[in-house]
Structure 1
């Protein structure tokens, strides 16, 4: 028996919801933008093989890989010591990109392990475990990447669970990763320890108004609220080319532009496919720095993880 799980890339924060909002990404061309993890039986012990476009930038020692750590924690949690497993990570997301790379690996690994063992953990318990493991890499436990990658769509983080938020079907989310790596921990260190009362009030107003507008399907208000008053003012200057790209994308008519997660990936919201393609073309020419970079025109999928059974695994991996 073997199971493979795909977990999509995600945007954390979505500008208006620092550590509280996240969105899954699905390229409109039907391609997959995310990591896959396969779990299969082995005679004894745990082993990990890595492949994929970004496998060469993973830690050379498998013992340092978060996927193996997920397996160890899952086995410990379920009391499955002594089980033999062969894991394969197809690493399709760049590390330190702002696309939820570590979250995608964690979600794919734990969902695959859970499916392989006939789902002993419910979604809530699994999501909490995902947050814990992802926090080991990012430096703190937060769910704005793991929740949308696992569940799909736009998700609001509540104290004990994630709450889906209606999005806008006509919006296109153009994401561009320039090909350089930024440490999430270092980008978080740029943020102030405290914020002024006026900034906190404005943040709360904008987040509340955005969520309300999404539920009422009030496009104009939702777009007007898609602004980052907490993190972007401190991070923008540290992302090469971001401020220039933001200005040009606004000139192209993109209704909102922001930093995906901690960056350096940026996102732009377009109201139609033609505008999205124009933004993608510009970003491909002016924001991408090397062959590692990528640009995708996406929408928000209602489904998060995808599961394949054994007859697809060999072809996929």
Structure 2
């Protein structure tokens, strides 16, 4: 249909209904979680029993909060939250750095087997997270056992724990980082670099003043995607985690023991933090795009 022509009433109505149903499907569960994070009841579901902040600030001490340990008083939960932040930070740094190197390797060099290598980089994206985690665990455990048997070396970083969690998440998140940065690099006009070289600029100067500013929006977006994907990962993390459990594994264990509105409070806190992070990164990307091009 030509956009300038008037649409029939039934089509306009169906479009509005579809949009309402779609957004309700997306946001209604989040709204329910947010509301019942303040429910004055020991369960995270209807009916509504009144408003309270116990599930955020309760200290399981005396008074109304007796038996209610809120999010900000739960040291185990806060520790798992910090563990997830640390893991996501390492995964983000590694994914951005290696993804950038991969992008330049794919776009700026020619060698035999380049197409095959490009396809292999995408392989982790089609492997289920559980299978990926089990495969990494079996491979690294075999290497650690072999080193222990032959040389008496105890390679703890190859045992279940945070280094292995970082390695497992990085193994597939770096593929997404590579695709994102490569897509940006494809649109780069290499004649800008050639002109700078002709004017006597060094490789380092060209990269830092021309190439890197152009890639900055993609790098910011890649960092955001990598951090959030690492933070919310569960399948691969569950297979590789040791004694220090990230937040997703901790929440899974709490759910098995019996859900409380503390988990709703955690979810609301993460929704707010994710929204703040997204807005901050969007402003950064917008500022980077608004800079005059070289």
Which TM-score bucket, shorter chain as reference? under 0.3
Provide the TM-score with structure 2 as the length reference.
0.24
**Which structure shows the bigger proportion of residues in helix conformation?**
2
**Bigger fraction of residues in strand:** 1
